[in-house]
């Protein structure tokens, strides 16, 4: 993840499945990695030169490094600070096995979700408002030429989930490019959003739209801590593992579950007990 020789002030590529991330000077890169195949390898890769990066989440200020703010058993909080004011920052929470990346601004209300690769088609296929400007979730479709070349589905789909009252605008967009989705939150207290990889297809949008709608109920359950507890039963020689998540619920109508993805790509719902919005909630595996 990190370059210990000191010449990389940001990060290497971080693989959390199904997403990958990389902290960079221009923001936090986020993508479902493309599959590359050669004579001796078959790998899903987010290269450090950006060749396979779909999006960059960019704060409204300049940075000079990335810092790890917190680590739990399978999460990292990565912070990009304003180089002129370290009280202002973008925090990204990345979670192993979650289809979501969770983003929070501190002392700022503006950021941009920018299409990083300009040489492949991308477009907005759905938003839930009367216009893009007043929408609280948006579905994006991105062409993946590398996956298509290697026999995999050629489109990836992403969902962006925002608090109500957020204002969205587009710049540098065209009929074949999402360009920049500029986000202005209604207040610094509501400056957060999540972004999810939804699915892939060879052209039909129906499954992605259905998944995006399903994910909305989980998109505001921000994971803040994870840990695993182990118990050993000596009589039967078994080890049992309990996986415990703590979440911050940003909406009162958030689902009573947490959505994760297993290594087979299947969606898995983790149950928890209902508590008030904005209160930390802990829950574990059955």
Residue 277 has pLDDT above 50, yes or no: no
Residue 256 has pLDDT above 90, yes or no: no
Average pLDDT, integer, range 145-159: 92
Residue 251 has pLDDT above 90, yes or no: no
Kindly report, residue by residue over 1-34, the tens digit of the pLDDT: 555 556 788 998 999 989 999 999 999 999 999 8
Residue 149 has pLDDT above 50, yes or no: yes
Secondary structure percentages of the chain, helix, strand, coil, to 5: 5, 50, 45
Query: Is residue 281 very low, low, confident or very high in pLDDT (cuts 50, 70, 90)?
Result: very low
Residue 36 has pLDDT above 60, yes or no: yes
Report the alpha-carbon distance of residue 96 to residue 107 in Å, rounded. Answer: 28
Kindly report, residue by residue over 157-170, the tens digit of the pLDDT: 999 999 999 999 99
Q: What is the pLDDT of residue 144?
A: 93
What are the tokens at 87? 């009280």
Nearest to 122 by CA among 170, 58, 50: 170
């Amino acid at each position: 993840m990190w370059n210990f020789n000191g010449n990389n002030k940001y990060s290497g590529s971080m693989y959390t499945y199904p997403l990958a991330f990389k902290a960079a000077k221009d923001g936090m890169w986020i993508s479902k990695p493309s599959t590359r195949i050669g004579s001796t390898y078959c790998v899903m890769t987010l290269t450090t030169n950006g060749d396979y990066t779909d999006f960059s989440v960019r704060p409204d200020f300049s940075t000079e490094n990335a810092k790890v703010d917190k680590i739990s058993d399978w999460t990292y909080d990565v912070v990009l600070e304003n180089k002129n004011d370290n009280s202002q920052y973008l925090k990204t929470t990345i979670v192993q096995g979650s289809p979501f990346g969770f983003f929070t601004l501190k002392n700022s209300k503006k950021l941009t979700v920018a299409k990083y690769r300009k040489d492949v088609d991308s477009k907005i296929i759905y938003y839930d408002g009367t216009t893009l400007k007043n929408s609280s979730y948006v579905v994006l479709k991105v062409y993946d030429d590398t996956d298509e070349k290697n026999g995999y589905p050629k489109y990836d789909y992403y969902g962006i989930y925002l608090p109500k009252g957020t204002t969205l605008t587009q710049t540098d967009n065209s009929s074949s490019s999402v360009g920049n989705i500029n986000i202005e939150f209604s207040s610094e207290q509501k400056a957060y959003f999540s972004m999810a990889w939804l699915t892939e297809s060879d052209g039909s949008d129906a499954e992605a739209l259905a998944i995006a709608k399903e994910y909305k109920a989980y998109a505001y359950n921000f994971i803040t801590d994870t840990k695993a507890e182990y118990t050993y039963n000596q009589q039967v020689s078994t080890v049992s593992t309990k996986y415990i998540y703590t979440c911050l619920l940003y909406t009162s109508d958030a689902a009573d579950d947490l959505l994760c993805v297993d290594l087979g790509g299947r969606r898995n719902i983790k149950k928890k007990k209902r508590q008030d919005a904005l209160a930390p909630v802990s829950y574990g595996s059955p």
